[in-house]
Amino acid sequence: MDLLNTLVDKGLRRELPTREEALAVLATSDDDLLDVVAAAGRVRRQWFGRRVKLNYLVNLKSGLCPEDCSYCSQRLGSTAEILKYTWLKPDEASQAAAAGVAGGAKRVCLVASGRGPTDRDVDRVSKTIEAIKERNEGVEVCACLGLLSEGQAERLREAGADAYNHNLNTSEATYGDITTTHTYADRVDTVQKAHGAGLSACSGLIAGMGESDGDLVDVVFALRELDPDSVPVNFLIPFEGTPLAKEWNLTPQRALRILAMVRFVCPDVEVRLAGGREVHLRTLQPLALHLVNSIFLGDYLTSEGQAGRADLEMIADAGFEVEGADTATLPAHRVDAASGGCGSQGGGGCAPCGDTAGDTAGDTGQQAAGTPGARPDLVSVRRRGAGTGLAPNA
């Protein structure tokens, strides 16, 4: 296929595809799916070999968020029966992080619900970062605390944070349909603050919220312009009790096409398969490893993932290997271009402040709640790990 040959050549040169080419990837048929995966896989292997970076989420504060993000189980007005608890103590968070590190994670992502941290919250998270790094030498830490005020990114870096995550989630044109309590520009500003402070910037998207192909391409091109070190791709987890509970718009094939498009647009960036992979990719998860070079290990913020052991077996069975702590994630040219010490540690990323988790133009595999493709039985609320007395899944 001429399209795929062109995209591979551009990806190997780190050249940006045209918007029309990106749209064409999303419009390919299921019959062409394996060709699309193979082509994007060549680009992935060029820059990342067969390594898979493992990341581990610690939800520092769950639920009771004042923001109204429609996708989020922690949002204002959510009736989803998720865990709700206030800030974990530094030693509690450190213990939770240690489980992930023991399972093979080289990066710990500290997430807290809310609009953004107060200065007291930054102090609290700073102590948590220090506790984690004291207990787990060499571990990378990414913070995901919402919108940042002036000076907060610098304070987090001084405390030892390596990265900061804040996702754009969807296109600027449709952002107001998803959230009204803050703006798309607010999110862009926070990513820029993190980058300006010398933190490794991480920003991604959520697919499956009813967006069009054009919206998906727009947000990925916007991310390319922001130039984060990592781009987490989340697939909506339609929690009962949230406004998007009935949005079952993804098939496994559709999810793979989205991941391939992101890889072509961001060829040398750490692309992370994040929330919702078990719900939407299901048995095709191993194919996604040919497109992404990073995943979360175990559970997410408010939902449960597949067993950590199953993640490791999947990576090995698919012919990939877990990335070691002493291996730089990013290609040398991105490491050299990164500012400060955080870039040399490989880039990172977390999840949206909620859980990582309509009419899709050009897609032939749309689903609706109640159809055979919709799998609400796979949406499982997290009841173990941080904020509970049960052992974490790692």
Residue 342 known to be catalytic:
no
Residue type, 209: M
| Tokens found for residue 275 | 């929330």
Q: Is 72 annotated in some ligand binding site?
A: yes
Residue 69 in marked binding region? yes
Please tell me the distance from the alpha carbon of residue 297 to that of residue 295, in angstroms, as a whole number: 6
Give the count of alpha carbons within 13 A of 114, CB side only. 18
Q: Please say whether the beta carbons of 12 and 47 come within 8 A.
A: no
The active-site residue out of 254, 257, 272, 334 is: 272
How far is Cα 175 from Cα 152, in angstroms, rounded to an integer?
Answer: 25
Is residue 108 a contact partner of residue 139, using CB atoms and an 8 Å limit? yes
- Secondary structure letter of residue 24 according to DSSP: H
Cα R_g (the chain), whole angstroms: 19
What are residue 303's DSSP bridge partners?
A: 381
Distance CA 75, CA 69 (A): 6
To the query of whether residue 142 is one of the catalytic residues in this protein, the response is yes
Q: Decide if 69 is catalytic.
A: yes
Residue from 44, 107, 109, 266 carrying the catalytic annotation: 109
Cα–Cα distance, 261 to 200 (Å, whole number): 23
d(CA 338, CA 335): 5
129 Cβ neighbours under 8 A, 6+ residues apart: 110, 141, 143, 156, 159, 160, 161
Check 44, 75, 142, 334 and give the catalytic one: 142
224 is in an annotated binding site: no
- Catalytic entry in 44, 72, 257, 266: 72
CB atoms within 10 A of CB 204: 29
Q: Among 202, 266, 350, 353, which one carries the catalytic annotation?
A: 202
Pull the structure tokens for residue 8: 């591979």
DSSP conformational letter for 176? H
- Annotated binding residue 109: yes
**Cα of 111 vs its chain's centroid, Å:** 12
**Residue 202 is assigned to a ligand binding site:** yes
Quick check: is 266 catalytic?
no
Location of structure tokens 């916007």: 222
H runs (alpha helix) in the chain: 2-12, 19-26, 33-48, 90-102, 119-135, 152-158, 175-178, 184-196, 213-226, 252-265, 277-280, 285-288, 308-317, 332-337, 340-344
Nearest residue to 352 (alpha-carbon basis) of 55, 61, 69, 101: 69
Tell which residue, 27, 51, 54, 19, has the closest CA to residue 264: 19
Q: Which residues are annotated as a binding site for [2Fe-2S] cluster?
A: 109, 142, 202, 272
Q: Which residues are annotated as a binding site?
A: 65, 69, 72, 109, 142, 202, 272
Q: Which residues are annotated as a binding site for [4Fe-4S] cluster?
A: 65, 69, 72
Catalytic residue IDs: 65, 69, 72, 109, 142, 202, 272
